[in-house]
Amino acid sequence: MNHQPTYYAKARQGKKSPFKRLAFIIRRITLEADLAATRFSLALAETFWAFNLFFSKDAMQAEKYYVMAQTMGQAEWGFVFAVISLMQWSILVSGRYHGSAAAAFAGVSAFLWWYIIIGLLTSSGSLPVAIGSEIALGCAAGWVLIRTGVDRFDTQWALLKNKGTHWTTLKR
């Protein structure tokens, strides 16, 4: 059994400042960790948006959705979110986070989330109070877009590149 200290334990060892420890952990999470959890959060949000748009009667009637309602109808937006959700889930299941298709999809996803955020801002003149989650999702989608094309440092990706297999088949 390997008793190597975790990245977070290494962050606590030998660092004098809590800010240096925090910087190490943030670097690890943002630059070296895989994007599965981020993509999972995006997939859930996109799925919930699709369901809400399909099964809510007047979801797009509020003033804050004016820009979205002028672009497409509620059913069309539900379809867009359903397709985006299915694509996100398929990337998660396949484990192919860094191909050209994943990069193109990441661009579409980031555009969609930021279109919604900007649409909400311009529709009502100010951001609604409950927009924090959409802003976080927009940042996450943008980060996935940036990270999709960046060389990977994490161990999981190195194993995948060397073995040429899906991560679920690797021994733990």
Q: How far is CA 118 from the centre of its chain?
A: 18
pLDDT at 14: 59
* 149 phi, psi to nearest 5 deg: -100, 0
pLDDT at 120: 86
CB 45 within 8 A of CB 113: no
CB 119 within 8 A of CB 63: no
CB 160 within 8 A of CB 152: no
This model's pTM is above 0.75:
no
pLDDT at 3: 54
- Between CA 131 and CA 85 the distance in angstroms is 20
- Between CA 141 and CA 144 the distance in angstroms is 5
pLDDT at 24: 79
pLDDT at 13: 61
pLDDT at 9: 59
pLDDT at 10: 58
Which ranges of the chain have pLDDT less than 50? 15, 152-155, 166-168, 170-172
pLDDT at 170: 46
